[in-house]
Amino acid sequence: MIYSVGENMYAFNSGIEFAQVQRTKAFNAANMPAKIITRQYNRYLARNAAWMGLQPDEYLNMYDYFQKVTDFEPFAQNVRTLAAIPRGTYHVRYTDNNEAHITENGQVLATVHLLPDKADCVGDIEYFNNLGDTMMTAYYDWRGFRSMVETYHPDGLVASQTYYDPAGAQVLAVTWMPENGESQATSWQLLNYHGQNYTFDSENQLFTFFLNELNDALASTFIVDRPHLATSVLGIDTPKRTIAYIHDSHLQQAATGNAYFVKGSYQPVLQPRGREFNLVAVATAQQAAQIKAQFPACVVRQVPTIYTQVVDDNTVTELQKILYVGRLAPDKNILGLLKVAAALKTHYPTIQLVLKGYFASSEYEAQILAEIQALQLDDNVTLVPYSVDDNGIYADASVFLSTSLAEGLGINMLTSLAHGVPVACYGIAYTQDNLIIDGANGICSDECNPQALAQKIITTFENPLTVMNLKVQAKQTAQQYQAEQLVTAWQQVLH
């Protein structure tokens, strides 16, 4: 088995999760058994995985495994059929479509919060004491069963979390303790697992135990895609092999000067204590060479991270709509996108910048919205909510814009190329001359400033024939990133 080890499948996913899904599906289609492993507890995991196009046998979550629900058949747990609410004693009163109150003699004992996408189904039940304070919350999995119960200290901080199997048996208990005004998980206890109890000091220790259980059943290959999970993967006793995939730049520029050093998050991958990975994989030969030069003992290879399919749905050669699809986060330099748009607006007053994705935080969203107003781009910027389906959004795009200052390759850029939409970006390492070649399939500015990039875009779109050539070569570039090439490259690594 080939396991791609990750953190979660979220409602809003990054390129890493998309890469894991594509890798897993490509492997399975090529008769290379593969699954995605996730560590975090997520009672919406089954829903999110389905949104990503995953089948139940294509992923495995640690908590699902211990809760014995890896192949659980979903059912609708309706509020009015909930066994925990004896109708002879308690009454249920709906306040709106989102919640209901459980009352006794007019006093509210609990509030039932309903699932957002399942009519009248239980999401969680918040129980109150006589003073009206929350003393306990029972969380229900999207598939219908009571999954976890959380209790609280008198000050409202979390005291414990107990996880259950569908039969109601306790399978895992987590103890929380107050520290500096916050609650910290201090102990994980696996209960009656094959007749024994096990205690762990951290979730990562529990995760390593889980990975060893899988590997003991069948010696497997583990590909870790999140660097903070590297230590857990290296803790597997006798894996077939361990591989770390670095999806972005492993380097960080010093606060002063032009020196670069290895990001702290990648030190467990490139500078592990003790056992090392059998292989470190990256998306470009340039990054592989840099890692090899700095860490000569490291076995590093260029291996594709994602594939795409060419789509003939775009014939635009005029500069009308600028597109960005991806995370709306500081590391993607969304402020830079706005500044490029503002510079373009001086030549194209009606230019449109479409940003599709999800904000990293509400604070960053507020910052971006304020900057849109400050740059007087209210009529020029459109925010499109995140969705897995991007069909149609590329059809009328003139150019895909990225002002990121660090990328491992640029997955969203590759998707754009597949639609024949040229990419305009800064000439950063691992993207320029690897995925985007200035004047061939896109526009790269060696000067990482908005005005310089905007001017290159303006100059390029003055000639429709130049734009048409970019579009043709964009699709030719995307043609090099197909599922077959991905599988072939990985087969060379795995055999």
Across 144-233, where does the E strand assignment appear? 146-152, 158-164, 170-179, 182-193, 196-200, 221-224
Q: Which residue has the higher pLDDT, 228 or 81?
A: 228
Per-residue pLDDT band at 105 (split at 50, 70, 90): confident
Per-residue pLDDT band at 120 (split at 50, 70, 90): confident
Reference 492, options 211, 266, 277, 304; nearest CA is 304
Reference 426, options 412, 447, 411, 407; nearest CA is 447
pLDDT number for residue 254? 78
What does CATH list as the number for 2-66+204-302? 3.40.50.2000
* pLDDT exceeds cutoff 80 at 101: yes
**Stretch 125-151: mean pLDDT, rounded?**
95
pLDDT number for residue 104? 86
Per-residue pLDDT band at 402 (split at 50, 70, 90): very high
Mean pLDDT of the chain: 94
Residues of the chain with CATH 2.20.110: 79-203
Which of 201-205, 370-374, 386-390 has the least mean pLDDT? 386-390
Class of the domain covering 321-478: alpha beta
* pLDDT exceeds cutoff 80 at 153: yes
Residue 87 neighbours by CB under 8 Å, 6+ apart: none
pLDDT number for residue 34? 98
Helix (H, G, I), strand (E, B) or coil at 188: strand
Residues of the chain with CATH 3.40.50.2000: 2-66+204-302, 321-478
pLDDT number for residue 199? 98
Per-residue pLDDT band at 181 (split at 50, 70, 90): confident
What does CATH list as the number for 79-203? 2.20.110
pLDDT number for residue 257? 72
Residue 305 neighbours by CB under 8 Å, 6+ apart: 19, 23, 245, 247, 283, 408, 409, 411
* pLDDT exceeds cutoff 80 at 88: no
Which of 66-80, 89-103, 337-351 has the least mean pLDDT? 89-103
List C-alpha distances in Å: 257 to 23, 38, 261, 352.
39, 39, 12, 37
* pLDDT exceeds cutoff 90 at 211: yes
**Stretch 238-257: mean pLDDT, rounded?**
90
